[in-house]
Structure 1
Amino acid sequence: MASSDSSERDSISEDPNNSTESVIMSRSGTVRGIHKGVQNRLSMFNACEKESQLSELMIKLILDEAANSETAFPGKVVFYTTSLTSIREISAHCTRIKHILNTHRINFDERDIFLHPAFGDELRERLNCKQISVPYVFCKGLLVGDNDKLESLNEDGELLAMLKEFQQAQLKNCTTCGNRRFVLCNWCKGSKKGLKHNFGFLKCTVCNVNGLQPCADCCEAS
């Protein structure tokens, strides 16, 4: 009886039309089905469905970014500058552009790449270049221009028209940091040393490489 059951058992062989699937053959040579066919079809369907969902998501993200590039600075005017005065031309350009923005009473987010080097890395990423120079202005995540472009836009009266929605009746002055947006680290007092360890001091995790931390008053205002 056991031998009879064994002889009646279906055999599995490779499908000549599809090397990745195996068919179930009966003793008479007829095809009974495909080995794990339903499971494979469900896996393929789920994979296609996920791929379709991912494609739709990517398309949506791309369209959203193209239509409204505010992923990094939503609703902001960002002004990249430096307080380093050793290079007079760059310092003069930054001072001039800041004066123009203040004259138009534009509310902007000032990012000093000297006080906080991470802002420099941020600007390199946005410009997609290794060598950068300031000043630069972005509006709603879109590049407005560098020094020459900003000067030209201002002379033509286009700069104010572009940034008019960010114009304020009166600019706010921070008495804590003097509008620098950074203050001396309250934890390490600028030493950049944190808790003491058996082998010495650990690096302070509150401040940046210059021993500064963001101004709490400016962060609340923004």
Structure 2
Amino acid sequence: MGDLSDETPSRSPSQRKRPLKPSPPAHRSPAMVHGKVCDSVLLLQSYQEKCPRGGENIVVLYTTTLRGIRKTFEDCNTVRSLFESYGLHIVERDISMDSGYREELRVLMGKKEVKIPVVFIKGRCVGGTEEVLRLEEEAKLGLLLEGLPRATKWCEGCGGLRFVMCMGCNGSCKVLDSEKKKVKCGECNENGLIHCPMCC
């Protein structure tokens, strides 16, 4: 008790008015956290709102692993690697694995031909390779990614590919009907794949 009462009078009035700053509580509004979160909100709002299915609070990448066009393939690898370096949970939608993703992207962008990769962050369309690399160079990408969930271990079912072979047709896309005739499998996509039941 004596120590506390002895120290209090020795402080100047300005010292008493400025206590040590506590770390910001979790419930504090974005505008109050050192201007950083506020900056990220303003930056995010500068992009057009186009939210892919389930993409409200994650990064969604539309890419391809098909090597048909070398530059496109390399751009997709560059963007994927950049986001993986942040250690965040990202959802990659590979249009070469499922044509449904290609159609989903066309609807989102409102046009038939869309150059990939295309990146969506928190339900906003950020753009392609050039836009993302520019954000990284200007140290703005990290701001956009603030508050997003961290990456978890790769799925044991699909190894992170998010697809597994259809067990109904063993990846052949054909099954036998009641008359023993081959018909199109109704469970898988055009590649004989289904979304991994463990992580999708």
Please show how residues 40-119 of structure 1 align to structure 2 within 5 Å: 73-119=55-101
Q: How many residues align?
A: 153
Identity of aligned residues (%): 33
Query: Quick check: 1:156 aligned with 2:135?
Result: no
More strand per residue: 1 or 2? 1
In the alignment, what sits opposite 2:120? 138
SS at match of 1:160: helix
Spell out, residue by residue over 1:156-205, the C-alpha distance to the aligned partner (whole angstroms, 9 max, x if none): 1111110121152x542123222110011011111111342437222111
Q: Which blocks of at least 5 consecutive residues in structure 1 are unaligned?
A: 1-65
Structure 1 pair 167–159 and aligned structure 2 pair: CA distance change class (3 A): farther
Q: Could you tell me how far apart the structure 2 residues matched to 1:154 and 1:206 are? A: 40
Name which of 143, 158, 171 aligns with 1:190: 171
Rg (Cα) greater in structure: 1
In the alignment, what sits opposite 1:16? none
Structure 1 pair 154–207 and aligned structure 2 pair: CA distance change class (3 A): same
Structure 1 pair 145–177 and aligned structure 2 pair: CA distance change class (3 A): same
Question: What TM-score comes out, normalization by structure 1 length?
Answer: 0.63
Query: Quick check: 1:174 aligned with 2:155?
Result: yes
The code of the aligned residue for 2:196 comes to C
Question: What TM-score comes out, normalization by structure 2 length?
Answer: 0.70
Structure 1 pair 70–115 and aligned structure 2 pair: CA distance change class (3 A): closer
Structure 1 pair 69–185 and aligned structure 2 pair: CA distance change class (3 A): closer
Q: Which blocks of at least 5 consecutive residues in structure 2 are unaligned?
A: 1-47
The code of the aligned residue for 2:183 comes to L
Shift of 1:131: 0.9
Q: Could you tell me how far apart the structure 2 residues matched to 1:188 and 1:157 are? A: 48
RMSD between aligned alpha carbons? 2.2
The code of the aligned residue for 2:190 comes to V
Shift of 1:94: 0.5
Tell me which stretches of 4 or more aligned residues in structure 1 moved more than 4 Å: 66-72
